[in-house]
Structure 1
Amino acid sequence: MTSLWRHSKDGPDRAEQSTQREDDENASLQEPTERTRLLQPEPDQGFLSPDDPAVSPYNLWSVRALRGLSLVALALSFVWWTFLLVSIFVSPPLMHPRGSGFFAFSYTTLATGYLVLGLLFFSVPSKPVTIWSCVISLFLLVNMIIILAVPRIRLEEGWVGIASVVWATVIALYQIIQNRAVAWGKREEETRLTGREETRRSLREWLVVLVQMVVLVIMTLATTLFTATLTLRSGDASLEPTGNRYSVHGDIYQVHLACVGNRTENPHEPTILLEGDYGPVEHTLQPFINDAYQHGAIGRYCYWDRPGIGWSDNAPSPHSAGMAVDVLSEALALAGETGPWVVVSAGIGSLYSRLFASRHLLEVSGIFLIDPLHEAYLDDVGKPNRGFVLWLRGILSPLGLDRLAGALVRGRSREDRVIGRSAYQSGKFIKAKLQENLVAVTMTAAEVQSARHIQMGETPVIVVSSGQEMQKDPRWAERQEDLSHITNKLLSWDIVHDAPHEVWTDTEGRQVLEKRLRDILEESQRNGFKFASGES
């Protein structure tokens, strides 16, 4: 009787155990969910230690998927970063911005660094990271609004710059989501596997948080400076050019050209065509020429900004002096300006004016060189270490440290930053000088050598040299003399002994220059230069 009762009692227990085993087997065959354990605990094992490697947010499929998405984003960002780096030296098709392109490179560098930081410390989320990421996202959002809202900046940055700042903003927002998601996953797994949320941090985790904080503070400072620099640029963009901008090179970019004075009925009266030295012509040679115009020494003159300088856009890379001269010719044609021309230039601008003269033989009636740069010095212009310094300055230019200091401390105006003494600080100017450096000893040197062979022999030439420069370097004196023989008709070679390289800044130098300007204009008209008919 007792055995029968015990048998009937054990029967249901075994049935329940069998049913439980079947449920466990069915559960193990089902698709894993967010709460599915990757490492199943042993029976009756209980909670794990908080330091157990199994306690990890990587147990969740969503967290691992998020990390995979970060890896894909990093790969895309690195490819885009590489393209932008290459485009500084050689512009790929359809990727040329009218500005320098350094802002786009900086935004992409920021996004790439942000992704690397997030992946390196993926499993150590923290609230300070979320807070600083929110601040960076806010500044990047303001950057994006400025670029899109200011027409001139939007035009200079182009689709490349817009895409880069949007990408950086999206990545900053994504990092907030990633940090919060990993923190949630970490909390969920700790609660499930250890019975409570772990609030302690190991020394390693505190060091990780410290490194994250330092890097994010640097990124925040960078985005703050980007915003301030863009604000300055938005103010500078409101400065209207004195002349007009003309779309050149297949409407890829624009250059600035201005002419002062009325045309006369005398078709043989030449127009002065200015070519500036190192900086914008408006800050160097144009004020002196304008004074000569006001005094009646000349009747009409035109001047322009080489690509990347003043009001002109940057040209695609590579860009040589000969390419710049072709662009000037195109701009003059679009403006309806014709010769005869007397080209007046100083310093490195003399190489450009000589190229222009060799490509417009029947239109150039005189060449006036003010302490010109000889082509032998192109080796100095094209030095690799100079190119590296220019590249580094360009990479740092979006921070605007010197421009902001000039505006806040020294009171520099927008005229100073666009066409004045501070123009050399802009990314556009640095990019133009880097382009000049990259091709100085190759393309530009070959173009100038060809120009010397082609130059018309009867074109009158005047050279005015700086006595100070000749005293510093005996080779400078020899090469100044050599430039006085680029044609067979030297009108004058004057040496202003106390004048610096910018001869027009010296009182005696200004007097000599004005006198020689009258001489070359009179010589041009006396010869009855007929560029249209091809007679000389």
Structure 2
Amino acid sequence: MVSLWGSKNGDERSHGDDAENDGGDSGHQPRHSGGREPDERTRLLPPRNDGFLDPDDPAVSPYNLWSVRALRYLCVLFLVISFLWWVLLLVSIFVSPPMMHSRGSGFFDFSYTTLTLGNLLVAILFFSTPSKPMEWGSLVVAFFLLLDMIIIVAVARIRVEEGWVGIASVVWATLMALYNVLTDRVVAWGKKEEEERLTGRKETRRTLREWCAVLTASVIMVVMIIVVILLTATLILRSRDAGLAPPGKRYYVDGDKYQLHLACVGDATYNHQGQRNPTVLLEGGEDPVEDTFEDWVYDAYSNGTINRYCYYDRPGLGWSDNAPSPHSAGMTSDALSEALARAGEEPPWVVVSAGIGGIYSRIFSSRHREEVTGIMLVDAMHEDLLYQVAKPGRGFLLWARGIISPLGYDRLFGAIAKGRTPEDRVFGRSAYQGGKYIKAKLQENLVANSLTKNEVSQARHIQKPETPLVVVSSGINVRKDDEWKKKQKDLTKVTENLLSWDVVNAAPHEVWRTLEGRKVLEKRLGELVKG
């Protein structure tokens, strides 16, 4: 390769070999650069007679040193290991291997491993072109990864959610960033050593190709620094949210693989015959149950309409951990049964649910047919409409959102610019932005039209026909969607004991958001509880 710049001393920049004679033969032209005929670039340059190689000679390379070659081989090995780990983490989002379940979203460990892959790939691509921007960029990345590692290990809740998989991923990412700093320094040293040994001096110039490589690597390192800063900021936000204590308690379920959050309000009461009065068991809709759905039930409790109610967060929502993948509605119902048993809660139950929560509550009711004394479905989803939840395009978008969720761009903006609180992020209006929530919805999407649909279809045949049933529908949805109206009517046949079907005219899907809807819901709930 021909350099773009000449040297300070012409004798150091010559490209020829020793003359064949001592300059006495004026008719004999000296050859240059390994016997090549002189050209317009080299004709006026004096021949080399010092025994050193040309700086552009391919033999002048840091790869001459075994230590540099060993570092490159190790870099390739680490890249292969990281790729295999990355593939395993990608698979675990959809199917959790044994001992690989993350009680958090599973997207953070995947992000750290993706960052590691990028870091090692850049190091290999620009291995022989060390530069200060790459060295300092790797140091900055390593610093923030080390900070992330400290946060994950120090904050108990995050440590539990990420588990050994998340901790191993961030530790590996930190070590690889530090390794890149080491390789950059060693290659720079090896390059200097070989240049001094073979050309007689340290090279201070760069070719156009080398400048392009340095520029490209610098831009990539800037992007990586921005990514790792966002990861750290999101992790700090998570550590703040981890300090928000849940109402009630978390209970281990499914062989102690994860925890389910369960809370109860009020004391158990008994009728004049000494029988325990029913406890209302709430099943939220698309969002955590604490986000407004519990409000109207609490009002009913405050008004004396009901004496006691319990609610829980499905896996991945609110204060509950994510469950292993795949995870169906029936598995959630079994987990709820286990949590109720561990909490010492006793039947009978009046099950109240909304939206897609109706699928979960119907499965629970069928599996506890002698313990459930009433069912209320609030604009609930029908099993024939689960195909809408299971759309492949929706699943891909959820996966894509989950992959970038550790960057926390929306959560950070909400916290900084809109004053979003930990309550907003854990169970409120910003909960849908969290990785746990997205993972739960992705799991729901993957099995909605297969496992879950089979479970709820079976539940319909198992359900005790004498169980009292109340259906409350959104007037807006019923008027604008004939299929929804048809399916709401079919839900009135879940049992043979329909007490009422109320269509609240001006109510949206979340019926309880209107005054009329709250009145209807409280009235019907009182009728179910008091029998």
Same fold (TM over 0.5): yes
**What is the CA–CA distance in structure 1 between the aligned matches of 2:276 and 2:142, rounded to whole Å?**
62
The answer to whether the aligner puts 1:209 opposite 2:214 as a matched pair is: yes
Aligned-pair CA distance for 1:202: 0.9
The answer to whether the aligner puts 1:52 opposite 2:57 as a matched pair is: yes
Aligned-pair CA distance for 1:431: 0.4
Aligned-pair CA distance for 1:269: 1.4
Aligned residue in 2 for 1:295: 303
Aligned-pair CA distance for 1:285: 1.2
Deviations 1:75-99 (A, max 9, x none): 1111111110000000000011110
CA contact (8 A) 2:313 2:319 kept: yes
Aligned residue in 2 for 1:121: 126
SS of residue paired to 1:368? strand
SS of residue paired to 2:499? strand
CA contact (8 A) 2:268 2:276 kept: no
Aligned residue in 1 for 2:500: 492
**What is the CA–CA distance in structure 1 between the aligned matches of 2:302 and 2:218, rounded to whole Å?**
61
> If each structure's helix is expressed as a fraction of its own residues, which one has the higher value?
1
Aligned-pair CA distance for 1:268: 4.1
Q: RMSD across aligned C-alpha pairs, in angstroms?
A: 1.0
Aligned residue in 1 for 2:358: 350
CA contact (8 A) 1:276 1:284 kept: no
The answer to whether the aligner puts 1:112 opposite 2:117 as a matched pair is: yes
Aligned residue in 2 for 1:21: none
Structure 2 gap segments, 5+ residues each: 1-47
1:164 to 161, 169, 177: 169
**What is the CA–CA distance in structure 2 between the aligned matches of 1:57 and 1:324, rounded to whole Å?**
59
**What is the CA–CA distance in structure 1 between the aligned matches of 2:55 and 2:441, rounded to whole Å?**
59
Aligned residue in 1 for 2:481: 473
Aligned residue in 2 for 1:415: 423
Aligned residue in 1 for 2:38: none
What code does the residue aligned with 1:185 have? G
Please give the residue correspondences for 1:35-74 in structure 2 after superposition, counting only pairs within 5 Å.
46-74=51-79
The answer to whether the aligner puts 1:455 opposite 2:463 as a matched pair is: yes
Aligned residue in 1 for 2:410: 402
What code does the residue aligned with 1:447 have? E
Aligned residue in 2 for 1:386: 394
1:335 to 319, 339, 343: 343
Aligned-pair CA distance for 1:284: 3.2
Aligned residue in 1 for 2:284: 276
**What is the CA–CA distance in structure 1 between the aligned matches of 2:291 and 2:237, rounded to whole Å?**
20
Aligned residue in 1 for 2:24: none
What code does the residue aligned with 1:252 have? K
Aligned-pair CA distance for 1:44: 7.3
SS of residue paired to 1:88? helix
Aligned residue in 1 for 2:106: 101
Deviations 1:241-299 (A, max 9, x none): 10000011111110000011111133241110000001110003111111111111111
Aligned residue in 2 for 1:241: 246
Structure 1 gap segments, 5+ residues each: 1-42, 524-536
The answer to whether the aligner puts 1:315 opposite 2:320 as a matched pair is: no
Deviations 1:138-192 (A, max 9, x none): 1111000100110000000000000000000000000000000001111111111
TM-score normalised over the length of structure 1: 0.89
CA contact (8 A) 1:244 1:258 kept: yes
Deviations 1:458-487 (A, max 9, x none): 111000000111122111001000001111
SS of residue paired to 2:498? strand
CA contact (8 A) 2:269 2:276 kept: no
SS of residue paired to 1:283? coil
The answer to whether the aligner puts 1:434 opposite 2:439 as a matched pair is: no
Aligned residue in 1 for 2:266: 261
Deviations 1:332-380 (A, max 9, x none): 0001111110100000000000000000010000100000011111101
Hey, which bits of structure 1, 4+ residues long, moved more than 4 A?
Answer: none
CA contact (8 A) 1:282 1:420 kept: yes
Bigger drift between 468-477 and 490-499 goes to: 468-477
Deviations 1:493-514 (A, max 9, x none): 0000100000000011111111
Aligned residue in 2 for 1:20: none
**What is the CA–CA distance in structure 2 between the aligned matches of 1:414 and 1:285, rounded to whole Å?**
19
Bigger drift between 189-198 and 351-360 goes to: 189-198
SS of residue paired to 2:379? strand
CA contact (8 A) 1:469 1:476 kept: yes
**What is the CA–CA distance in structure 2 between the aligned matches of 1:262 and 1:145, rounded to whole Å?**
43
The answer to whether the aligner puts 1:196 opposite 2:201 as a matched pair is: yes
Please give the residue correspondences for 1:72-151 in structure 2 after superposition, counting only pairs within 5 Å.
72-151=77-156
Deviations 1:402-422 (A, max 9, x none): 100110000000011001111
**What is the CA–CA distance in structure 2 between the aligned matches of 1:175 and 1:268, rounded to whole Å?**
67
Aligned residue in 2 for 1:533: none
TM-score normalised over the length of structure 2: 0.90
SS of residue paired to 1:144? helix
